[in-house]
Amino acid sequence: MNTVEVTDSYRHKGLRQQLIDSLKDKGITDELVLKAMNNIPRHYFLDLAFDKIAYEDRAFPIGEGQTISQPYTVAYQTQLLQINQFEKVLEIGTGSVYQATVLAELGAKVFTIERQKNLFDKNKKSYPFLSKYRNIKFFYGDGYLGLPQYAPFDKIIITAAAPFIPERLIEQLKPGGIFVLPLGDDENPNQQIMTRVKKELDGTLTIEEFENCSFVPMLSGRQK
């Protein structure tokens, strides 16, 4: 997990276009999300060993027992967030930085938190291409606490399986804001329901449930 493939060849671009077409076939309709994902070389975020399969619609290991989400899931969750340019977005679970980059490519100001020190350190060091995305800020911490010093956020996204809707994060969401998270309980650890929480202008919450999905668990506390 230390070498980053920096060439975006015609082969990569061709495979990426095929992946984007397959996401459309699977029901992703937001053209801006599809375009953003087509602009980002997913293989940059993966170990070289995955270079040939980086454009399959699959999750892959990124070290420390964590995974980069399946492209369909990234597209689906991003589409539910309805990102507008310059919005402040809080992401819990930086992982490979792929999802954060999709949000940044859509023009959001991204604040992303990772609880695992090794993944956090790796993100800071090994991605020269991230210099293109000055609108991503990295934090090492516990996502359950959010980032009160930067609140309120227009949008919040959790990219790990949350056992409940964290109250602290609701507090950090702007009235009118949207929060998308995979919600699941311990009884069924491999399956969650993609959930969208809207904070109305009067502060009440509207909760919508979407497809089933499968994420690694959201854990509390930082890990050294």
User: Which CB contacts under 8 angstroms, 24+ apart, belong to 56-65?
Assistant: 56/19, 57/19, 57/22, 57/23, 57/26, 62/1, 62/95, 62/96, 62/119, 63/1, 63/118, 63/119, 63/122, 64/116, 64/118, 64/119, 65/216
- Which chain residues interact with ligand SAH by CB under 6 A? 66-69, 92-93, 95-96, 98-99, 113-116, 119, 142-144, 159-160, 216, 218-220
The nearer residue to ligand SAH, 105 or 114, going by C-beta atoms, is: 114
CB of 50 to ligand SAH, least distance (A): 13
The nearer residue to ligand SAH, 177 or 182, going by C-beta atoms, is: 182
Residue with tokens 């699959």: 58
The nearer residue to ligand SAH, 137 or 200, going by C-beta atoms, is: 137
CB-nearest residue to ligand SAH: 95
CB neighbourhood size of 176 (10 A): 11
CB of 188 to ligand SAH, least distance (A): 18
Question: Which tokens hold the place of 103?
Answer: 């949000």
* Residue 22 annotated as catalytic: no
- Among residues 9, 69, 96, 220, the one annotated as catalytic is 69
CB of 222 to ligand SAH, least distance (A): 8
The nearer residue to ligand SAH, 112 or 177, going by C-beta atoms, is: 112
- Residue 212: its H or E element: strand 205-213
Which amino acids are annotated catalytic? 69
